[in-house]
Amino acid sequence: MTSSLDDKKEGIFPVVVIDINGIRCRALTDSGAGSSYISAKLVQLIGAKPTQVQTRTVEMLLTSKAERLEIYDLEFRSVNDQFSMPVKAIINKS
């Protein structure tokens, strides 16, 4: 979800405050994104363990590269505890 400012093609990405395992953090929301990413530092703070590890090949202009992805099953909660959402969050370990 982005909002456009005038005809400048600039976007505003909404940021929301959420709770993950008792830690308040900010989440950048992008409703058109194909994946959800999380920082390695936050994963360390909440003590999460990956539920899956995948290797994907990313094709670039002149080469390709294998990337190791750790996937975490998490629950994002509103700070007023009225809403929660399961999320599969990814860390790129390449």
Contact 27, 18 (CB under 8 A): yes
The predicted-structure confidence for 55-74, as pLDDT tens digits, reads as follows 989 888 899 999 899 999 99
The predicted-structure confidence for 6-60, as pLDDT tens digits, reads as follows 566 677 789 999 999 889 999 998 878 888 999 999 999 999 999 999 998 988 8
Q: Which one, of 57, 46, 43, lies nearest residue 89 by Cα?
A: 43
